[in-house]
Amino acid sequence: MRYHLKPMKKETRSIARPILDALNPYRWITGIRNIMFDMGIIKSRVFPVATICIGNISVGGTGKTPHTEYLIELLRENRRIAVLSRGYGRKSKGYIRADEATPMPQIGDEPFQIKNKYPDIDVAVCEKRVTGIENLTSEVPGLDAILLDDAYQHRYVKAGLYILLIDSNRPIWQDNVLPFGRLRESLAGIRRADIVIMTKCDNITPEGQAWCSNYIKGWKDIPVFFSRMKYGSCYPLFKDAAPHKADDARNVLLVTGIAKPEPLRAEIERRGKKVTMMQFGDHHNFTTADLEDIAARFDAIEGNSKVIMTTEKDATRLQQRDDLAQNIRESIYVMPIKVEILGDEEKMFNKIIEEYVTENSGDSRVSQK
C-alpha cells in the first residue's frame, strides 16, 4: 500500500497544539536553551575538522545507526574518519576510545556494533562531545572527519553539517514535545538542519514526497532526501550455527530490543515465514531469566524448521552472554540492514557529503565560536 503524508488535522493544529505548547514546561525549557545558544549566551565550540551530526528531534527509532553506517561506507575508503557517540546504556563514564578488545558494556551496543563491523575506523564514546572531539583529534593524527551519532541536541559542539532524520511513519509535524508526545524539542529545531532525510519510506508516493519537501522547506530551504531500509541475508551469530539454516526455516522467533521492530517483522513475514515475537525495550540488557524465557518460547515452537532471528544491535548484547544454551546458540541468526536513498538522489546526497568533508578536512586546532 502506498501512502501520502499529511499534516495534522486542521482542528488539532489550530486548537490542541497551541494549548499543549503553552502548558508544556519542557518545551519552554528547551526553547529558552536553544535561544541562548543561538544568541551566543551559551557558547558552542567549533572544530576545524569536518564534523557531521546525525540526529533527530523525536525519541528513538529513526534509523540513526544505519545512516551513520551509510556515511562510514561512503567516506572510509580514502579518508580517516571517526565516530563519536555518548554510548547510551554503557556501564562506564567519560571518554573511551574503543579497540577490538573493548567489551560492549564499556561503550554501549551501537558503538560496539559499529566497531565490530568497521574495525579499521576509530570509535569513541563520551558524554561531553567537546571533550570527546578534543581527545580524538589529539590522539588520531590526520583525522579527516568525525561523525557525531545522536548529537542534534548537544549544542556545546557546533557541527559543520547537520543531518536531521525524520521517521516517515510518524512525522514530527504530527507529534508534540515531551511529555505530551515524543519530540525532544519544538519543530523550530528543523532550522538547524542542513539536510533532512525522511526515513523508512517504503511506500511513500511522489505526492507524499512533494508534500514533505514543501513542508520542510517552509521552515528552511534545504535539501530533502528519502530513504528506506534494505534488509540483507541472515547470517549466524555464532559459529555453532549452520550458515543457511535461516533461509529454509519456516518458523521464526523474532527477539528484539529496539524501538520499532514492526518493519523487521513485516520483512520476515514477506519472506514467507511465520513469526513469533519476543519484544523487549530499546537497548535492553538481556538477563538470565530473559534467556530462559527465549529458550522456552523457542522450544514451544513445533517442529525442527525453526530459527531465532534478531537485529544487529541486539546481537551485540546476546553475543556477550556465556550462559546461552547450546541449542539456542546454534539457532540465532542476525538480520542486517542497510540504507538506500530513493530515486536518483543518491549521487546528489553523496556529493554534498563528500564535498563538505573535502573542503573541511584539516588540522585539529580548536577555535571558539
Compute the distance between CA of residue 279 and CA of residue 256 in angstroms, rounded to an integer. Answer: 5
- What is the per-residue DSSP string for 87-121? -TT-S--S-EE--TT--HHHH-HHHHHHHHH-TTS
Do 129 and 261 fall into the same domain?
Answer: no
Is-cis flag, bond preceding 119, omega within 30? no
Do 310 and 364 fall into the same domain?
Answer: no
Single-letter amino acid, residue 148? L
Compute the distance between CA of residue 187 and CA of residue 179 in angstroms, rounded to an integer. Answer: 15
Query: What is the reported pLDDT for 367?
Result: 39
Query: What is the reported pLDDT for 368?
Result: 37
Query: What is the reported pLDDT for 343?
Result: 87
Counts for the chain of helices (H) and strands (E), in that order? 14, 16
pTM recorded for the entire structure: 0.89
Residue 13 in any domain: the answer is: no
Cell of 218: 517552509
What separation, in Å, do the N-terminal and C-terminal C-alpha atoms of the chain show? 48
Do 210 and 354 fall into the same domain?
Answer: yes
Q: Which of 261, 361, 356 minimizes the C-alpha distance to 312?
A: 261
Residue 5 in any domain: the answer is: no
The per-residue pLDDT string of the chain (369 residues; one tens digit each, 9 = 90 and over) reads 455 555 444 434 445 677 778 889 999 999 999 999 999 999 999 999 999 999 999 997 899 999 999 999 999 998 999 999 999 889 999 999 999 999 999 999 999 999 999 999 999 999 999 999 999 999 999 999 999 999 999 999 999 999 999 999 889 999 999 999 999 999 999 999 999 999 999 889 999 999 999 999 999 999 999 999 999 999 999 988 888 899 999 999 999 998 889 989 999 999 999 999 999 988 888 999 999 999 999 999 999 999 999 999 999 999 989 899 999 999 999 999 999 999 889 999 999 999 999 999 854 334 334
- Which residues are CB-contacts of 85 (< 8 A; sequence separation ≥ 6)? 107, 108, 110, 111, 123, 124, 125, 148, 149, 150
Cell of 151: 548529537
Do 118 and 224 fall into the same domain?
Answer: yes
Maximum CA extent, the chain: 65
Query: What is the reported pLDDT for 2?
Result: 52
How many domains is the chain built from? 2
Q: Tell me, what CATH number does 264's domain have?
A: 3.40.50
3-state secondary structure of 367: strand
Do 112 and 256 fall into the same domain?
Answer: no
Angle at 206 between CA 350 and CA 217, to 5 degrees: 65
For residue 331, what are the domain limits? 233-335
Do 143 and 57 fall into the same domain?
Answer: yes
